[in-house]
Each structure stands twice: as structure tokens, then as C-alpha cells.
Structure 1
Amino acid sequence: MLALVMLVNRTGAMVLPFLSIYMTQALGFTIQEVGTVLACFGLGAVTGSWLGGWLTDRFGNFWVQTLSLLLSVPLFLVIPQFTSVEAVSIAIYVLSVVTESFRPANSVSVARYARPENITRAFSLNRMAINLGFSIGPALGGFLASISYHWIFYGNALGASIATLTFILFFYKRKGTVRTKQAEPIPASSQAPKSPYRDWLFLLFSLLCCIYAICFFQLLSTMPLFYQKGHFLNEQQIGIILGFSGLIVVIFEMLLVHIAERRLNYASSIFWGTALCAVSFALLPLPTGYWILYASIFMLSISEILAMPFMASVAVKRASKQNQGAYMGLNALAFSTAHVFSPFLGTRIADNYGFNVLWWGTATVLVGVAIGLYFVVRKM
């Protein structure tokens, strides 16, 4: 049921994929102003992730998830009333804080309701629901945006409303899986575990992960603008391409991760995932037809499958049992920080130098990141 709630909620996620187009077309913002607003969304995501975890520890995952879903509904409805850069930036920041606080509470909820032997599969199912929802949401959003951009906000509000009702009806006063608490062995040494912020090799790894994510997250900011301005696609066509990305992850993730675990080590899998990301961006400037966009997004989706799960696994393996949370937190912070810098840098490069310079530059950076990650992970 948690996966169903996530599926409904992400199916209604129509605003973010079209936010950059909405601001340029309906509000008349410049590309750089769009980058500023989307950077505020990234700041909100960082704040919301921290706040959601803090509130979950104090009030429980049920109430945090319920309030996150419930409060997002009126926010989606009122955002179309704001038209200035400052007002939209503040509104998007608040919306991001509210919606992203759902994630840590949902992760705790998955761990609570799943049986101990099924936790890994439960998280995989939840991730699959997110990607399946993302494959449906942009396609629906493209159809609604072709009617009126306001409808994508109304559609997102409707999706959040349905998800809220589903969640409350099924999980109100529902108890999680009871686990017997076992005595933990006392560590042989009383020495405090090493902080990830003093682990210079892991800090370098996290920095490279952040740069990879800055490049990858162009998917949510400059790429929709490029589809519209560079290839003159309409909202429905853009929605179908973005939805295709989520569908590829749903279809191939479990298979490719299984193959990579058996035939590749962590360093090789992350290297090829990052290299494919470089190829996907290098394809975009080619003066070919509509099909090249699908080839590029396909490569980008395979890159996500090969790189991101294994980046998280590296963080887990690097840590000890006493500081696993700290290492995972730093790894998550690298990706959250990328949400801030990705739209801010990408839109400014595209506006000042053109999209082709952005794509070639991104591909070049990713080649260097792929090589760096390969040697750093091997050394780790």
C-alpha cells in the first residue's frame, strides 16, 4: 500500500517537469530567472529532507507523511496566483520543503511496515513505484499543459489529495511489523567511529557524485527548455519523452542491477554509468531528427540504473555499523546539493553560451568524473 500511495503521488507529479517551460512561456521569465527559481526548489529539498527526518523522530512517520501530502494540496492550488520571480521563488521553496519532508518519513515507514527479510525488496518496490509514477505523470502533465499550464498545478493537487486519502484510510492506527530487539555486542574498542567528514577519500567520492548529479539533473531544468526551444516540441511531446525515461528505469533496473552485481565491480559499474551519462549529453547537439532525443534519454536512464544504486552501496560499504547513517547522510547531501547548483549553473550557461556549449561541456566534465570515480572507488 505504501508503494501504491507513492505511485499515486508521483503520477500526479506534473509540476516539476514543466516548471521551467511554465515560467518562460506563461510568466515570461528569462532562462536565468528560471534557474534561480529552480535553485530555490533545490534549497527547499535540502531543508525538507532534514526537517522531515527531524519531525519523524519526534512525531512519527504517519503524521509527517499525512501533513506533507495534505499541505501540498493548497500550495499547488495557489502557486499559479504568483507571477513575480521573488514570489514564485518563495512559493516554490515552501512547496519543496513540504513535499520533500515526505521522503525520510516514507523511508522510515517502509522499514517499519516491511518484514525484516523483505526490507530490501520493499525499498526496491517503492523505488519502482516512484519511477512508474514519473513515467505516467509527465505524459498526463503534457496533455494538461497543452490546455492550460494552470491545469498541471490542479492535476498535481488532485494527485496529492487522492494519495492523502489513500494513506489515511489504510495506515491510520495501523501498527507496523513487530521486531524482537536483540542485544547488540559491545564493540571491542571504545574508540569513536571515524566521521565521514574526516574521510578524505570518501569526501572526494562524494564531491564527484555531486558533480555527476549536477550534470544528470539537467533532465529536470534545461532539457525540457531545450526540447521546446531547440526542437520546437509541444508540451505533449515533451511529456512523452520525460515519461519514457521513467518507464525505461522501471523495465530495466532490476535486470541490469542484477547483471552488474554478478559481472561488474562497483568501480566498473559506476564508471560505465557515468560514461553513458556523458554519451547521452554528447548526442543532444547532433543535427539529427526527433529520434536522437529518445536515444539520449534512453542512455541517461541506463546511466541512472548503473551509477546511482552503486554509489549508495559504496557509502554503505565504506561505513562501519556505528556510523552508517552519517555516511549515507553525506552521500544524500551530495545529491541534494546538486539540486541547487544544477539548474542555477545549467540555465546560465545555456543563456550566455547556448545549449550546445552546455551539452558538450557537460559531456566533457562527465568523462573526467567517470575516470575520477573509477580510480577513487577502486582505492576505497
Structure 2
Amino acid sequence: MIRKLLRAYIGSFSDLRREVWILAFITFINRAGTMVIPFLSLYLTKNRGFTLEEVGWILTFFGLGSVAGSWLGGKLVDSIGHYKTMAGSLLLSGLFFVLLQFPVSFWGICAGIFVVMTIADAFRPAVFVAISAYSKPENRTRSITLIRLAINLGFSTGPAVGGLIISGAGYSGLFWVDGITCALAGILLLKMLHPKKALENPKEIALNPKLMMKDKPYLIFIGAMILFGFVFLQYFSTMPLYYARVHFLSEFQIGILMGLNGFLIFLLEMPLIKYLESRVRSTLFHVITGTILIGISFVLINLTGWVGILVVAMLFLTLGEMIAFPFSNSFALKRAEGGKQGSYMALYSIAFSMGHIFGHNSGMQLIGKFGYDLTWNVMIVLSAISCALLVYVLFLVKKEKEAGAVNYYNT
């Protein structure tokens, strides 16, 4: 039985191209080094002495930089290609992550975080287009999943190691490790991955490309993803504060709990995605399911003050994340076919950047004024609205297929 499960697990990784594996390895190195982000709210409150309201505004600049970076990355992909955009983003963000430790004033930190995120998040639309360029069409969702596995394996390693670094060398050591690993990822990209290995040229435009701003289903989908990101990102800003202030967890314990998310994704996501791909369900159906599960995680947290519920809620969040992210990404890539892929995937990235802008700040303000319980109830309502929008997108896509306007596979 164990041998059969092991064969099935290994088989779920089959048929993926070498270049996709290299891209995943580079992404792992980059993500493992991004240790500052999960501890940012704690760093700003404990090390720099900012209030929750001030941290909320600082994290708004985090989101603004993410939006600017996603937009810039999309433009660069459509002009100079995904390869140069990824390399430049990784190398420059390595430098600026190191420099981010030096600003001490409120506005200095706001400016520093904005610049860092503008540079770092130019990588996001580029890596999405790279997946499309290097993977076989029939393996695209699993290729996306492999990249996510690399991200989450890095994320499971990063917070745990980050907690140890903070204990031993303080937050300054965290910034240095962050910068060095980002630069190392850029060097590996230049050494190991070559743009000539791409199966297709993602800059190639169809004679009559879809106008993204007139693609109604896609725009509503992006709206749903903004709300989804708003809710999901609470686990990386307000939730660590909840762990520390309500349940009195240490930085190391918080790192372990958040690392559980990445470890489970590494262990289970690829077999789960392969299984779900074999079911007769639409991509959007899976995105809806994942969104519901993430909403349930907030319901559970509000049910009891038992510390063990944090682990149970993390399990629901992780399952929802494993389902929602790969299939939402796959849906976005499919809609982008025949259009400017950089622009389409930039808008997909911006959806989550908007979550950074409004989610972190609003979450901090809600907690500061009304407490954690009401804040989690707001997240439950937003999850429900996101699901309703996704159901409407599913209806619109079915109408398109019936009318023969679009021939999307498994949308």
C-alpha cells in the first residue's frame, strides 16, 4: 500500500520539463530567503516601536509597491521578455532587501518597502509567463503547482530558519540573508536557465488579440481574486499578531505554525492537483471550493479560544490554498492566450497586490478599533462575496462556450 502511494506520488511529478524544474529550484532559493515578509508586522511593532495603525499604513506601501511592481513586470515582459525581467528583479531586489534594514523613520520605511516591493514583484508576472513558455500545455497546471511547491517549501523553511536567525542575530541578520539569497537566485537563473529552451515565444501576439479591459469574465474573476487575496493575506500580517497577542506564541512557534502550511503543501499539493485534474470539474469550480475552505478557517478561529484550533484552521487554509491557487493561475493563463500575456498576468498579480494595499491596513485598523473577532467575521463575509463572484464568472464562461465565442479547455 505504501509502495503504491509512493509510486503515485512520484508519478504526479512525471512529464514535467527540465526547464520547469530549474525554474522551480530558482524559485525555491528565492522564496526560502524571503524571511522578512512573515515577520514584518512583528519587526515593525517590537523592533521599531510602531503602533498597529502605523504598521497598517506601512503595509499599505508594501501593497502599493507590489501593484507598481506587477504593472512594471507585465510591461517589461511584453517589451523585453520574461527572462530579462526575472533576472533583473532577482538581482536588484537582493541589494535592496539588505538596504531595507537601515531606514528608521516612518516615511523612510514606507519609501524603502515601496521600492523593494516594486523591484521584487516585477518577478511575479514574469514567472507566470515563463511557466507558459517552458511547460507543455497539457502539464501547465501541474507546472504551476510545482512552482508553488517550490515557493511553499521555501516558505516552510524560511520562517522556521528566520525565527532562529532572529533569536541568534536579530532582525538585521534576517535582512542580510534575505538579500543574499535573492541575489543567489538571480545568478542561478543566468547560469542554469536559457530563454532558447522555451517551447513557445510568449511575446508573440495573435493578429486579433483579446482586449483585456473588455474581457468581462476575466475582469470579474480579478475582482473575486482581489477579495480572495484580501482574506488570504491576513494570515501573513494580522494573524501573526493574533498568535502572539491572544495565544502568546513566540516568534519561533509562529514560524513553526506557518511553516506547517508550506510543508503540507509540499507534501500533498501535487498529488491532489493531479487527482482533481482527473475529475470532471471545471477550473473555476476548484477555485470556488478553495475559497470556501479558506473562509471556513476563519469561522473555526472564532468558534473557540482553544489554542489547538489554530492548527485546525491552518489545515483548512492550507487545503483551500492548495486547490484555489493553481487552478486560478491556470484559468488566468488560459484567458491570456491570444492576447498580451504579460498584461494579463500582471493584472492577476495586481489582484493580490491590491490585497496587500487594502487587506493589511484594513485588518490592522479593524483589529485596533473593534478587535479580532469582528475582523475575522469581516473576512468570512468577504470570502462569501468572492465565491458569489466566481460563480457568476462560471456562468459567463459557460455562456461563452455555448455561444461558441471562446473555446477554452476546462475553464
Specify if TM > 0.5: yes
Whole-angstrom CA distance in 1 between matches of 2:331 and 2:139: 21
1:138 to 148, 159, 164: 159
1:9 aligns with 2:30: yes
Q: Which runs of 5+ in 2 are unaligned?
A: 1-21, 398-411
2:189 to 164, 167, 174: 167
Deviations 1:327-380 (A, max 9, x none): 555444322322211112111111111111101221133234324422442343
- Report the more deviating stretch, 331-340 or 348-357: 331-340
What is aligned with 1:177?
197
1:270 aligns with 2:287: yes
Please tell me the residue identity of whatever aligns with 1:305.
M
Deviation at 1:17, TM superposition (A): 0.3
What is aligned with 2:407?
none
What is aligned with 2:378?
361
What is aligned with 1:150?
172
1:31 aligns with 2:61: no
Asked if structure 2 preserves the Cα contact closer than 8 Å seen for 1:283 and 1:296, the reply is: yes
Deviation at 1:263, TM superposition (A): 4.7
Whole-angstrom CA distance in 2 between matches of 1:176 and 1:111: 14
- Report the more deviating stretch, 313-322 or 201-210: 313-322
Deviations 1:84-111 (A, max 9, x none): 1110010011111111122334445555
| Alpha-carbon distance change, 50 to 226 in structure 1, aligned in 2, over 3 angstroms | same
1:377 to 394, 399, 403: 394
| Alpha-carbon distance change, 318 to 52 in structure 1, aligned in 2, over 3 angstroms | closer
Asked if structure 1 preserves the Cα contact closer than 8 Å seen for 2:27 and 2:150, the reply is: yes
| Alpha-carbon distance change, 307 to 62 in structure 1, aligned in 2, over 3 angstroms | closer
| Alpha-carbon distance change, 29 to 113 in structure 1, aligned in 2, over 3 angstroms | same
Asked if structure 2 preserves the Cα contact closer than 8 Å seen for 1:226 and 1:355, the reply is: yes
What is aligned with 1:231?
247
Deviations 1:52-108 (A, max 9, x none): 333345445444333322222332222222111110010011111111122334445
Deviation at 1:20, TM superposition (A): 0.5
What is aligned with 1:207?
223
Whole-angstrom CA distance in 2 between matches of 1:372 and 1:62: 34
Whole-angstrom CA distance in 2 between matches of 1:59 and 1:370: 36
1:345 to 362, 365, 384: 362
What is aligned with 2:257?
241
Whole-angstrom CA distance in 2 between matches of 1:341 and 1:73: 26
- Report the more deviating stretch, 75-84 or 109-118: 109-118
What is aligned with 1:220?
236
Deviation at 1:117, TM superposition (A): 7.2
Asked if structure 2 preserves the Cα contact closer than 8 Å seen for 1:267 and 1:378, the reply is: no
Whole-angstrom CA distance in 2 between matches of 1:85 and 1:284: 32
Whole-angstrom CA distance in 2 between matches of 1:269 and 1:117: 18
Deviations 1:180-231 (A, max 9, x none): 89xx9x98xxxx5663433445433322221121111112211111111111
Whole-angstrom CA distance in 1 between matches of 2:341 and 2:53: 38
Whole-angstrom CA distance in 2 between matches of 1:356 and 1:122: 38
Q: Which runs of 5+ in 1 are unaligned?
A: none
Deviation at 1:179, TM superposition (A): 5.4
Whole-angstrom CA distance in 2 between matches of 1:161 and 1:57: 24
Whole-angstrom CA distance in 2 between matches of 1:157 and 1:180: 32
Could you say what secondary structure the match of 1:340 adopts? helix
Asked if structure 2 preserves the Cα contact closer than 8 Å seen for 1:196 and 1:330, the reply is: no
Whole-angstrom CA distance in 1 between matches of 2:86 and 2:300: 40
Could you say what secondary structure the match of 1:231 adopts? coil
Deviation at 1:250, TM superposition (A): 1.9
Deviation at 1:38, TM superposition (A): 1.3
Whole-angstrom CA distance in 2 between matches of 1:196 and 1:74: 34
Whole-angstrom CA distance in 2 between matches of 1:368 and 1:120: 26
Whole-angstrom CA distance in 2 between matches of 1:34 and 1:17: 14
Q: What is the TM-score of this pair, normalised by structure 2?
A: 0.80
Asked if structure 2 preserves the Cα contact closer than 8 Å seen for 1:270 and 1:374, the reply is: no
| Alpha-carbon distance change, 42 to 229 in structure 1, aligned in 2, over 3 angstroms | same
- Report the more deviating stretch, 11-20 or 304-313: 304-313
Deviation at 1:251, TM superposition (A): 2.1
1:285 to 299, 302, 307: 302
- Report the more deviating stretch, 21-30 or 299-308: 299-308
Deviation at 1:278, TM superposition (A): 1.2
Provide the aligned length of Structure 1 versus Structure 2.
371
Asked if structure 1 preserves the Cα contact closer than 8 Å seen for 2:134 and 2:200, the reply is: no
Could you say what secondary structure the match of 2:319 adopts? helix
1:299 aligns with 2:316: yes
Deviations 1:85-141 (A, max 9, x none): 110010011111111122334445555555777665544322221111111111111
| Alpha-carbon distance change, 179 to 106 in structure 1, aligned in 2, over 3 angstroms | closer
* Percent pairwise identity: 36
| Alpha-carbon distance change, 114 to 285 in structure 1, aligned in 2, over 3 angstroms | closer
Please tell me the residue identity of whatever aligns with 1:279.
I
| Alpha-carbon distance change, 113 to 342 in structure 1, aligned in 2, over 3 angstroms | same
